Every structure is written in structure tokens, then in C-alpha cells.
A and B are shown apart, each in its own frame.
Chain A
């Protein structure tokens, strides 16, 4: 008779009446640890919000809601206002979307509907590698390659031919809103492309077949059957891209110049909330200064959280494997 059976015959009855003896404590402990780790995610989110509010409280109480509308940023006079930074954040992200969304959608359509299978994988891989580029390297490239190009020929020709339009009015600095928008476009391109491609691939082929059977051209199948079907997913992809653009720091800081005012001209140096915090944090010498910068970060967090939540609710069930961008 095996050892196990002997032990069972002798002690089995007892063992079963005392579940804690049989290693059930192991399960209990494991459950506590697992739940704890899961809750740590929630705790992290809560702590994040609490800490930011706490460190910006001084500025919140000092300036009140006027902080959002004031355009003054004067460390010497101890007066701070976030309006230009918020304006810069929104405008630069909008420029990024205007430039990136058509290209991303086109590339996504190409990757999911048009490209032959042997081309699909390497292309997708390259697009995703673009997402893996560190922001600071992109910024370095931005300073020495992109900005000179923007200054001349882009801004020069835009200014001379279309200078009557306010957004193209002004001396061509190079560093400024336009360059920031361009570099943000490059950064959000891979995200929107990858998610849109996944969303389109998930459209059942029966939809395409139905359209084809009606005698549609390839493009009509795409625009008539595929795109409408995954409309909300595409919108979600764009909003996720927006979320990424809003929070992007390094590359933007390096090419946006350091202007702090609200102007229509895209050629002017500007600031985003992220770039303002990044540029000035290490120079903030007194508490109110730091607090104002933290409040800026808090506003940025609020905007990004809102945008991301909306996007998630739209793209909720698009499962992404870790081999692709996680965002």
C-alpha cells in the first residue's frame, strides 16, 4: 500500500475536519496578497490625486479659479496664471491631430485592407517602432533637424504666401507652436494607426463580402462597410492619441520655445502645461512658485484623465496584446 494511502486512511478524516491543516491557509494568504496588489492600483490612483491636490493647495487657495483664466506668469511679482499654458496644450494637440489623423487613418486602412500579407507585418512593426522612440531623442532631432526646416522653408513660404491669415502671421522663429504640433503629430501617429488598424481588422469579413456582392469597388467597401462599422472605435483611437499628445513633455519642451502668451500666430514661441512645468520646476525657488507649477500639473492631469476615460469607454473592448503599443 502506498505511503499516501496509509496516511490517508489514518489521518484523512481528521485532516478533512481541520481545513487549515491542509494548506488552506496558503490559499487564504494568497488571496489576501492578490487582492492587496489589485487594490494597490486603486490606491496608487487615489494617492496620486491626493498628493497633487495637497501640493498645489497653496496656489489653489491663493489664486482661486482665476488661475485658469489669468495670462500672467510672473515669478518675480508672485503672480501666476495658467491660461497660455492650457491654450498651448490644446492648440498644439489640435495641430497634431489635424496633421496626424488623416495620415494615421490612411496608413491603418492600408495596413488592414490593402497591403498584401507579406507587407503587413514588417510595416506594422515599423510603425510600432516609431512609438518606441524615446521622446528626448525625438526632441533632439526636432531641435537640429525639424526646427530649421520649419523656419525655412515652411514658415517662410507660409508667411509670404498666406501671411494675411492670422495663424501664419509673424516672424518665422522655427521654435514655436507649429514645430510643437508637428512633433506631436509624429508622436501620436503610431498610436492612432495601431489602434485603428486593430479596430478595422476586427470588422467581420461578412460585412465586406456583403458590400462586394453589391458590386462595390475596394474603396467603396472600405468607406461604406468597414469605416462606418468601426466608427466609435476609430473615434476612440483618435481620442487616445489626443490623450497622449496632451501629456507629452520632452519633445514639445525642446521645440516650442518659451513664449508665454496667447496669440493666434502659430509661428510664435509658446508653452504647454507640460513644457512649462518641465522648464521651470528646477528653477522654482519658493513654495508658491512650486505650488503654482503643481497646480498646472494637476490641471493637465484632469484634462488627460477626462480625455482618456472618454477614449477608454469608446475603445473598451479592444484587447491589445503586449506585442503592440500599450496606451
Chain B
């Protein structure tokens, strides 16, 4: 049977478009698959003990990961306190003050920094902070995560600040308001929703990081509330240790903890996107 060129083209069209659709559903399907498994395996082990109990010695049943959750909160808190203001400040520099050449250099550097593997950042902070302090600490871990957050915050803040129309700045300047007050009282409030979104996304990214924590926080079987005193645990670290260990009770807790981690990260990301959309 001879197929005309026209029919061949139509067939190719249908085939390729269909293939693209298949791939798209495949991509989404993978996500659903992973999420589904984690939730399925983890929900069963999700109980209040997970949030309130400390880890028990290997092989024994029960216990929880309360110390990891507390540790994660402390570390992310430190990271946010350092990383968000400095990041927004760098964003203000890029959007309001930077000259053409210097601005391009800083922007390019920030973009490249976002691609530095987090394990390299972990080693960097190990050398910079842990060795100098003499011990692992929540502070070192917070600094590592802040370094990861910094270039992300800087670029996203810059873009949000640039969205504020120039007429706003002119109106304020024409009133005789000095430059820095214009930025603080007119530009930043106008961009606040976008800045908050950027901060939430940066925090969501930092919350899931594990590698840098291995060399800065180390991990701790017990609850630690100290910022500079010694090793501290974090949720991703505990998941890693449990997942790679041989004890099935720990595996179950790893799944449950993963549920908590995923849901937290997703909720923050979702909140950030909704915030941006509601404008």
C-alpha cells in the first residue's frame, strides 16, 4: 500500500505529539510513584511518638526522632537569620545600587554559586568553621545552609525588586526622600510578597539538604539545644543513617520521617507559590 507524503506527515505528527504527551505523563508519573510509595510506607509508622520520643538503641522497638526535628528547626532558624537578610541585601545591591559592570560580575557569580554542589559547601564550612571552633555545631550547619541560600535569595530578591515600577521610586525621590529611605519604605514594601516567596523557597530548599550537614552538624543520638556546643541532629541526617542501617525498625522510622520531611517541604513550596499567585 502506497502511503502518500501527506499521510506520512500526518502520521509523524500524531506519533510525535503522542510521544511528547507520553513523556509528560511519565515525568509526572514518576513523581506520583515516588510520593505514593513514601506516603504508603510511611503513613503506617506515623505516630505521635515520632515527634516526641528520642531514638532508642539499635534493634529496640519504639522511639522517635524528636531530637532530629528540633535540631532541624534550630539549624534552619540559624540559616534563615543569616541567609535571608544578607541575601535580600545583596539583591538590593544588584537592583538599586550596582553599576553595569560590577552588577554583571556579581550576578554571574551568584548564578554560578547556585550550582556549587552542596557537599562542597559542607567541606568548605568544615574547614572554615568546624576546624576553627574545634567541634561540630548547629552554628556551622546553619552557616553552611545560609551559604546555600544566599545566591538563591540574592537573585530572586533582585528580580522581585526590579518588578517595582520606577515611577514609585521617582515619586518618593521627588518628595525629597533620601535614597535609602525610598528603598526601605517604598520599594521593599511594594515587593514584600515576592521577597517572602523567595525566602520561603530558599528555606524549603535548605530544609532538604543533607550532605552539608554531614560535615558540620555530624548528627547526635541525643537531644541538643546548643548552638555552638557540639554535634546536633537533623531530620535528613537521621533519615540517611536509618536508611543505610540494617535495622528494620529504623527503616520504618526513616519512611515515616521522610513523610514528615516531604510534607513540610511541599507545604512551604506550595505556600510560596500561592503567595505569588494571589497578587
Please measure, in the bound complex, the distance between the C-alpha atom of A123 and the C-alpha atom of B272, giving whole angstroms: 17
Picked from B86, B178, B258, the residue with its CB within 8 Å of the CB of A27 is B178
Which residues of chain B are near A139, meaning CB under 8 Å?
240, 243
Report B151 CB to chain A, min CB distance, Å. Answer: 7
Asked if residues B127 and A55 are in contact (CB atoms below 8 Å), the reply is yes
Asked if residues A218 and B266 are in contact (CB atoms below 8 Å), the reply is no
Asked if residues B90 and A41 are in contact (CB atoms below 8 Å), the reply is yes
Picked from B27, B121, B218, the residue with its CB within 8 Å of the CB of A193 is B27
Which residues of chain B are near A54, meaning CB under 8 Å?
127
Please measure, in the bound complex, the distance between the C-alpha atom of A135 and the C-alpha atom of B151, giving whole angstroms: 20
B67 part of interface (Cβ distance < 8 Å): no
Please measure, in the bound complex, the distance between the C-alpha atom of A311 and the C-alpha atom of B265, giving whole angstroms: 28
Please measure, in the bound complex, the distance between the C-alpha atom of A37 and the C-alpha atom of B156, giving whole angstroms: 15
Q: Which of A277-327 contact B (CB under 8 A)?
A: 277-278, 281-282, 293-294, 297, 300-301, 304-305, 307-309, 311-312, 319-323, 326-327
Asked if residues A129 and B123 are in contact (CB atoms below 8 Å), the reply is no
Interface-located stretch among B29-37, B49-57, B58-66, B220-228: B29-37
A residues near B (Cβ < 8 Å) are 23-24, 26-27, 29-31, 33-35, 37-42, 44-45, 47-48, 51-52, 54-55, 102-107, 109-111, 114-115, 123, 125-130, 132-141, 143-145, 186, 189-190, 193, 217-220, 222-223, 240, 243-244, 246-250, 254, 274, 277-278, 281-282, 293-294, 297, 300-301, 304-305, 307-309, 311-312, 319-323, 326-327
Asked if residues B20 and A274 are in contact (CB atoms below 8 Å), the reply is no
Count, A-B residue pairs, CB within 8 A: 283
Asked if residues A126 and B28 are in contact (CB atoms below 8 Å), the reply is yes
Of the candidates B19, B31, B98, B181, the one having the most CB atoms from chain A within 10 angstroms of its own CB is: B31
Q: Which of B74-108 contact A (CB under 8 A)?
A: 86, 89-90, 92-94, 96-98, 102-103, 105-106, 108
Known: A44-B113, A300-B117, A312-B111. 19 other contacts (CB 8 A): A38-B102, A38-B106, A44-B147, A48-B121, A52-B120, A55-B127, A103-B23, A114-B20, A125-B273, A133-B265, A134-B210, A135-B208, A137-B258, A145-B37, A250-B211, A250-B240, A281-B215, A308-B115, A312-B112
Which residues of chain A are near B273, meaning CB under 8 Å?
125, 323
The 3 A-B residue pairs whose C-beta atoms are closest, nearest first, are: A247-B117, A134-B208, A106-B23
Asked if residues B127 and A134 are in contact (CB atoms below 8 Å), the reply is no
Of the candidates A140, A240, A321, the one having the most CB atoms from chain B within 10 angstroms of its own CB is: A140
Picked from B28, B38, B198, the residue with its CB within 8 Å of the CB of A127 is B28
Please measure, in the bound complex, the distance between the C-alpha atom of A119 and the C-alpha atom of B10, giving whole angstroms: 24
Asked if residues B207 and A51 are in contact (CB atoms below 8 Å), the reply is no
- When C-beta atoms are compared, the residue in chain A nearest to B183 turns out to be A30
Please measure, in the bound complex, the distance between the C-alpha atom of A132 and the C-alpha atom of B265, giving whole angstroms: 7
B residues near A (Cβ < 8 Å) are 9-10, 12-13, 16-17, 19-24, 26-28, 30-32, 34, 37-38, 41, 86, 89-90, 92-94, 96-98, 102-103, 105-106, 108-121, 123-124, 127-128, 147, 150-152, 154-156, 159-160, 178-181, 183, 194, 197-198, 201, 204-205, 207-211, 214-215, 218, 236, 239-240, 243-244, 251, 254-255, 258, 261-262, 265-266, 269, 272-273, 276-277
With known contacts A140-B258, A308-B112, A40–B90 Cβ distance under 8 A? yes
Please measure, in the bound complex, the distance between the C-alpha atom of A315 and the C-alpha atom of B123, giving whole angstroms: 29
Which residues of chain B are near A133, meaning CB under 8 Å?
31, 34, 208, 262, 265
Asked if residues B123 and A277 are in contact (CB atoms below 8 Å), the reply is yes
Please measure, in the bound complex, the distance between the C-alpha atom of A168 and the C-alpha atom of B170, giving whole angstroms: 66
Which residues of chain A are near B102, meaning CB under 8 Å?
38
Question: Main SS of the interface on chain B?
Answer: helix
Asked if residues B23 and A107 are in contact (CB atoms below 8 Å), the reply is yes
Please measure, in the bound complex, the distance between the C-alpha atom of A218 and the C-alpha atom of B17, giving whole angstroms: 8
Report B9 CB to chain A, min CB distance, Å. Answer: 6
Picked from A26, A30, A247, A281, the residue with its CB within 8 Å of the CB of B214 is A281
Report A272 CB to chain B, min CB distance, Å. Answer: 10
Chain A to chain B contacts (Cβ below 8 Å), 22 pairs: A31-B180, A34-B97, A37-B93, A41-B109, A44-B113, A103-B27, A106-B20, A106-B24, A107-B24, A110-B23, A127-B31, A136-B210, A137-B38, A143-B243, A220-B13, A244-B115, A249-B118, A254-B244, A278-B211, A282-B214, A293-B123, A301-B120
Asked if residues A35 and B93 are in contact (CB atoms below 8 Å), the reply is yes
